[in-house]
Chain A
């Protein structure tokens, strides 16, 4: 025997040592990710803490850092998100339903599927260029809340479609067959069975999409949103008839990430504090939304037993 027991044992020990080393390296790598995030959060919280007060939420941006606030930014973000949700949710859910429940296999549906995959990989700033050329100038919508909302809706459409399709695909075929057996039409099956059972999954996708949209900066800068807005869009509800006004759709606006970008790119440290505070609010908002989506998905996975 050329190989002694001793040397075999030594080799085994050496190889097992690699297991331990890699496990340590893995934890270190994971820690780098976690610590970076902790540093990011702590830095913003500490730097912005001095500015976080009720006044910060109820003041307009100002030339004086100490008096500036995010009133126009969060109102703008809310209104843009309303438009985005109103457009992206029905379109995305309808597309998802069509592709899963109605579409027959042919070149057009193949094209739609490949297209959705590719759209998910298009950089967000390219959507901004589309919006600048199409919505702002071609359709003459201007640099308005409507343009921004439509842009972000197109941006998150793939997210909503993919989430809808996955949620629908998880529903067993037996549910559909049972519905048809009772004499339901295809739409009735979708309306009373497919949609209700997939709604939690769809909601997860919608929340993740909205969380992404609320933090998007590049496409909105590209359509030329102003950064200094010291007024609010016209109110949607009026005291005299016709009571409801859609003028706000065409109003100039600013949003949270743009306000933060504006403050970050100023040289004065006082404005950086504002940026930190705005960033803190933004991160808490997106984390809360993503956290809600993850929690929803987790609950979903546990509760549904077909």
Chain B
């Protein structure tokens, strides 16, 4: 029947087709923006870091035990900043891992329906609080509180920053772990109950192992957030580079250092300016490694039902 179509209709169809193609192309370009963002991040960090590593040999960057990039006698030992990042993240995880998993198990397996309906949105709300507010809380509430128990604690320390950071990541960890546990099919639980297991036994020996891949990736996400967290540490842990693994001391992290440099006015193109890109590259490599690890864990321990 195509032969009887008038020419006007054909032209109309053709213009419609062209418009469709143009729209698809525009949408595709929009989708590419996220790829360009990644390319841009890698390009900028690598470009500035290459200039930096021309001034500072890589081995010195990795092995030096001092970090004084803005002094006359400049040292660039990233280990110093890494120690701060590592210590504060450890404190945060010491809080978030046990609390997060207990809350997730409780909400998924024990809590009455009503409580869960209220608690889940509440956790999400908690996750939306700006980190600068947590920073204020760590410096002006948690630190004075800790000083009452342990008077020698300095005003800036990794402990209170880490504790608050742990509280901050609980919502993420608990929420994702809980989703993973809810996804475990009911029949597994019923089988366990039929064998005479209690609720606690079913939760810890059936549901948690079955949801392990989801729980593991929740923790990886939590670690990656702790490592990249900036404002809590910049406010509450002080910005003094300090090679220490003692959470009772003040120390700078990679992120806090970047903030410190950005707050001053370093000329564009100086070594100090490029230092923050080298520090940023280190940070990106770490978080990327955690992301990849998360993917691997999820794939390796995925249980298919």
Q: Which residues does A use to contact B, with CB under 8 Å?
A: 15-16, 18-19, 22-23, 25-27, 29-30, 32-34, 36-37, 39-40, 43-44, 47, 90-91, 94-95, 97-99, 102-103, 111-112, 115-119, 121-130, 132-134, 137-138, 154, 157-158, 161, 185-187, 208, 211-212, 214-218, 221-224, 227, 257, 260-261, 264-265, 272, 275-276, 279, 282-283, 286-287, 289-291, 294, 298
Kindly identify which residue among A129, A187, A275 contacts B258, using a CB–CB cutoff of 8 Å: A129
Interface pick from B3-11, B16-24, B56-64, B240-248: B16-24
Assembled-state Cα–Cα distance A129/B231 (Å): 15
Assembled-state Cα–Cα distance A214/B129 (Å): 10
Within 8 A of A (CB), among B101-124: 102-103, 105-107, 110-111, 119, 121-124
Which residues of chain B are near A18, meaning CB under 8 Å? 198, 200-201
Assembled-state Cα–Cα distance A116/B291 (Å): 12
Decide: A217 near B231, CB < 8 A? Known: A185-B16, A264-B135, A282-B133. Answer: yes
Docked-complex contact A218 and B30, CB < 8 angstroms = no
Considering the complex, give the chain B residue whose CB is closest to the CB of A20. B200
Does B99 sit at the interface, judged by CB under 8 A? yes
Assembled-state Cα–Cα distance A294/B117 (Å): 12
Interface size on B (CB < 8 Å)? 85
Would you mind naming 10 contact pairs between A and B with Cβ atoms under 8 Å apart? A15-B200, A33-B103, A40-B137, A97-B27, A112-B34, A115-B34, A124-B228, A186-B20, A218-B131, A290-B124
Which residues of chain B are near A130, meaning CB under 8 Å? 37, 40-41, 44-45
Docked-complex contact A264 and B136, CB < 8 angstroms = yes
Give the secondary structure class of A's interface. Answer: helix
Docked-complex contact B27 and A94, CB < 8 angstroms = yes
Considering the complex, give the chain A residue whose CB is closest to the CB of B48. A133
Docked-complex contact A291 and B288, CB < 8 angstroms = no
How far, in Å, is A48 (CB) from chain B's closest CB? 10
Docked-complex contact A211 and B128, CB < 8 angstroms = yes
Kindly identify which residue among A23, A122, A260 contacts B110, using a CB–CB cutoff of 8 Å: A23
Docked-complex contact B130 and A94, CB < 8 angstroms = no
Assembled-state Cα–Cα distance A200/B127 (Å): 22
Decide: A290 near B128, CB < 8 A? Known: A15-B201, A124-B228. Answer: yes
Which residues of chain B are near A124, meaning CB under 8 Å? 228, 230
Docked-complex contact B258 and A125, CB < 8 angstroms = yes
Docked-complex contact A44 and B136, CB < 8 angstroms = yes
Docked-complex contact A95 and B136, CB < 8 angstroms = no
Considering the complex, give the chain B residue whose CB is closest to the CB of A98. B27
Does B301 sit at the interface, judged by CB under 8 A? no
With A133-B48, A222-B259 known, 18 other A-B pairs at CB within 8 A are A22-B110, A30-B106, A33-B99, A40-B137, A123-B227, A123-B229, A125-B230, A130-B44, A187-B24, A215-B133, A217-B132, A261-B135, A261-B235, A276-B136, A279-B133, A286-B128, A286-B129, A286-B130
